[in-house]
Amino acid sequence: MDGGSILETIGVEIIGVMSPVSICMFLVVLIVYTLSSPSSSDNQQVIRTAANLIYLESSSDTTAQKLEGALLNAVVFVVLITLVTFLLVILYYYRFTNFLKYYIRFSAFFVLGSMGGSIILTLIQHFNIPIDSITFCLLLFNFTILGVISVFSQGVPILLNQMYMVALGIIVAAWFTKLPEWTTWVVLVALALYDLVAVLAPGGPLKMLVELASSRDEELPALVYEARPNVSSRSGSRGPNLGLLLAGFSDGDPIELRVMSSSENVVQNGRVVSEMRSESEEIDDVREVEIEGEMLPLMGSSSSNNERERPVVNEDIRESNESDRARVLEREIEEEEERGRGIKLGLGDFVFYSVLVGRAAMYDLMTVYACYLAIISGLGCTLILLAVCRHALPALPISIALGVIFYFLTRLLMEPFVVGTSTNLLMF
């Protein structure tokens, strides 16, 4: 049973998306927990950001005032985001791609350097870590620069890129949790609605952006988490070779080539996976059919190259005997299956999931856990829908809706029940 059961292959890509989201949420919760617990008593400085331009919440206001102000804030925030997104679409339409890329690099620099730096500073103060300012600046600068480099260049390992994406998500989310409570909830709901419209409605800015990018066969000029598996952790000794090979090919070129060869050097099959296509298509069924189709040219006839295949010789793989070859092919297929399935998740989704959980963390651990489960299951539903619909889907609405519902259900219903029973040491 060296092939293993199907339990190991099913759901790899879902976990590939879920685990970074979980890590991001977990770290945000930790940050919120450590930073908010001592200072919760004194009224901390409310910062003014784009999300609370109109109204600054203070605890003495009435509920109606809070609600009204929060609604106004949310409307302004969403309008701002819409405008910016349209601006991005226009820039992208007129092919200011480099401008966009440099802008995004700059914003990554800014986020990592100043916002991340200030969070790290607070943490240092909180834990009384002895560090001098020169070392700190040097380390922060290096950290930031590496992050900026990793944003759009394909040369860096995918793991590094993923780590920096998660880091960016954590930093932005940690800042968003400083918003006042009512504004947070209303903004979250408004953003979920906005996401729904922007991705699905005809003429929605995100839909236009995705379609443009896929029609040009280009990478989306945005901060997007790619759930391509990092090869080294998964496959055996040959993994790193393949990873290098891949990185070499995809350098400066959005098209990925997959290489397959055998000792007889007859069967060559390079799959072209356009980056954008992989966002919108596939999780399960579709892909399996394709793989079945691909088994045929691999195992059987050598001449049946269709237009998607390109002959690229891979010198590294030289397997002599037949059984080895079969095994290698099988493995290659598996890897290909994994690699092709790069589900992409916008960084905004990371951020707002984490904001929700971080906000829940300010209440109790129980709500954190309930919200986490709700968001993750919402994400799972979205991914399943993705497999069915096969075009770009908004990741926020289902998760945020479930998260908000579970938060309030837990807070209003479950908490008194659980606390009531378990302080009597009754459990079941």
In whole angstroms, give the CA distance from residue 196 to residue 396: 8
Residue 251 bears catalytic tag: no
> Helix crossing, 365-389 with 415-422: angle to 10°?
130
8 A C-beta contact, residue 260 and residue 297:
no
Closest approach of Cβ 271 to another protein, in Å? 17
From residue 398 to residue 427, the character string flagging contacts with another protein as x (rule: CB under 8 A) and all else as - is --------x--xx--xx-xxxxxxxxxxxx
Using CB under 8 A as the binding rule, the residues of this chain from 290 to 319 that contact another protein are 291-292
Q: Which lies closer to another protein via its Cβ, residue 64 or residue 425? A: 425
Helix (H, G, I), strand (E, B) or coil at 225: strand
Instruction: Choose which of 84, 255, 373, 389 interacts with another protein (CB under 8 A).
Output: 373
CB 279 within 8 A of CB 321: no
Number of other residues whose CB lies within 10 A of the CB of residue 118: 13
**Active site residue: 253, 285, 349, 364, which one?**
349
Of these residues, 61, 132, 195, 316, which one is catalytic? 195
Query: Cβ closer to another protein: 34 or 44?
Result: 34
Q: How far apart are CA 371 and CA 417, in angstroms?
A: 18
Is 195 designated active site?
yes
Among 46, 377, 391, 401, binds another protein (CB under 8 A): 377
Q: Which is nearer to another protein, 140 or 333 (CB)?
A: 333
Q: Which is nearer to another protein, 213 or 283 (CB)?
A: 283
Q: Which is nearer to another protein, 116 or 229 (CB)?
A: 229
Answer for which of 369, 387, 391, 401 binds another protein (CB under 8 A) is 369
396 forms beta bridges with: none
Please identify, using beta-carbon distances, which residue of 22 and 82 lies nearer to another protein.
Answer: 22
Determine the Cα–Cα distance for residues 324 and 184; give it in Å rounded to an integer: 57
Q: What is the DSSP string of 252-270?
A: T-SEEE-----TT------
Residue 324 binds to another protein (criterion: CB under 8 A): no
Q: How far is the CB of 346 from another protein (least distance, A)?
A: 22
Cβ atoms of 396 and 352 within 8 Å: the answer is yes
List Cβ neighbours of 186 (8 Å cut-off, separation of 6 or more).
67, 70, 71, 73, 74
Q: Is 381 among the residues that bind another protein (CB under 8 A)?
A: no
Cα dihedral sign, 215-219-223-224 = positive
Contact flag: residue 11 with another protein (CB under 8 A): yes
| CA of residue 223 relative to chain centroid, distance | 9
**64 forms part of the interface with another protein (CB under 8 A):** no
d(CA 385, CA 217) in angstroms, rounded, equals 24
For another protein (CB under 8 A), the number of binding residues is 44
Catalytic residues: 195, 349
Q: Which residues bind another protein (CB under 8 A)?
A: 1, 3, 5-12, 14-15, 18, 288, 291-292, 364-366, 369-370, 373-374, 376-377, 380, 406, 409-410, 413-414, 416-428
